Structure 1
Amino acid sequence: MDRIDRNILAALQSDGRLSITELAERVGLSLSPCHRRVKALEQGGVIRGYHAQLDPGALGYNFTALVFVTLRDGDRQAVNAFEEAVKQVPQITLAQRLFGDPDYLLHVTTRDLPAFQQLYDEKLSGMAGVQRLTSTLVMKTVIQDRPLVLGQG
């Protein structure tokens, strides 16, 4: 990956709706080479996709909790069963497997506290292999979706 590829990625992180023409102008390439580079970055998995960033609060989702999960067992079957169960809960917006204890960190977004409590009681606490859930509430989001630093180091 060279400087031009990093410039393409930086421009697309800033504005994923850029047309190839606009992108080529920003990075100083003609249309065809720019298009080839973008396609290569997509095919190589560097660019995973394009999406709209939504404001949860504007859509009525005003409650976010972080849920730490400790599993009873750490074998492959328990891990796979838990991860498949997590994928079935749309209110979990991010799930991360961790080293050490706890085993997972779940980011959960709901409309309000009662909706979270219902989700916690009816789904999260009954998920496959769960030994312990510990929750904390998000007071304020300070940084979200920060672009990656694309320098050489």
Structure 2
Amino acid sequence: MESNTTVQMDDVDRRILAELTRDGRMSVSVVAENVHISRAHAYARISRLTSTGVLTKFTALVDPVKAGLKSSAYVTLKVSQHVWRELREELRAIPEVAHIALVGGDFDVILLVRAEDNQGLRRVIFDTLQSMPGVLDTQTFLIFEDLDTR
């Protein structure tokens, strides 16, 4: 299925997604019970949501500070025209980069960078990001407090 094709979903699908977003380890039986459908129906719906690309992966949310990543920042990049395809693969290879988004506005890319300490954050920004071909400018916004909204 094309990545930009919208999948038709109903209220049951949305309730299943809400349950799995709240707890990705929730069993199909518990999802079915919470959504008030049969286990077989829940299994079929989850399979369809997965095969159509609505559900892309099941993951754990990690508290970065408790995991030893005490310094975090949003880093914006201004990049040269036509470098995005190569640059995104280079960015994906940086272990400290937790999230990458191509955006419109005063900058082109925004990254969430998490490191063990300020020296690690500095190394990623100054030694890695700023030296990448096609990166014209960076701006760093330190994160003082993370709030999980899920």
Same structural fold, with TM-score higher than 0.5 when normalized by the shorter chain: yes
Q: What corresponds to 1:150 in structure 2?
A: none
Structure 1 runs, 4 residues or longer, greater than 6 Å off = none
Residue 102 of structure 1, aligned match among 94, 104, 107: 107
Q: What corresponds to 1:55 in structure 2?
A: 63
Write out per-residue CA displacement over residues 55-82 of structure 1, whole angstroms, 9 at most, x where no aligned residue: 11111110001111111x212xx22222
Q: Distance in 2 between matches of 1:113 and 1:86?
A: 19
Q: What corresponds to 1:65 in structure 2?
A: 73
Residue 122 of structure 2, aligned match among 95, 117, 122: 117
Q: Distance in 2 between matches of 1:21 and 1:83?
A: 39
Q: Distance in 1 between matches of 2:20 and 2:110?
A: 29
Query: Which segments of 5 or more consecutive residues in structure 2 lack a partner in the other structure?
Result: 1-8
- Give the letter for the 2:59 counterpart: H
Write out per-residue CA displacement over residues 82-119 of structure 1, whole angstroms, 9 at most, x where no aligned residue: 21221111101111111132111111100111111122
Instruction: Tell me if 1:74 matches 2:81.
Output: yes
Residue 7 of structure 1, aligned match among 8, 15, 25: 15
Q: Distance in 2 between matches of 1:136 and 1:10?
A: 31
Q: What RMSD over aligned residues (CA atoms) do the two structures have, in Å?
A: 1.4
Q: What corresponds to 1:151 in structure 2?
A: none
Query: Could you tell me whether the CA contact under 8 Å between 1:67 and 1:107 is conserved in 2?
Result: yes
TM-score normalised to the size of structure 1? 0.86
Instruction: Tell me if 1:37 matches 2:45.
Output: yes
Q: Distance in 1 between matches of 2:141 and 2:37?
A: 48
Query: Could you tell me whether the CA contact under 8 Å between 1:85 and 1:128 is conserved in 2?
Result: no
The count of corresponding residues between Structure 1 and Structure 2 is 142
**Shift of residue 126, structure 1, vs aligned partner:** 0.7
Q: What corresponds to 1:22 in structure 2?
A: 30
Using the aligned pairs only, state the percent identity.
27
- Give the letter for the 1:136 counterpart: F
- DSSP-derived class of the 2:66 partner: helix
The residue correspondences of 1:138-149 to structure 2 (distance < 5 A) are 138-142=143-147, 144=148, 146-147=149-150
Q: Distance in 2 between matches of 1:83 and 1:36?
A: 34
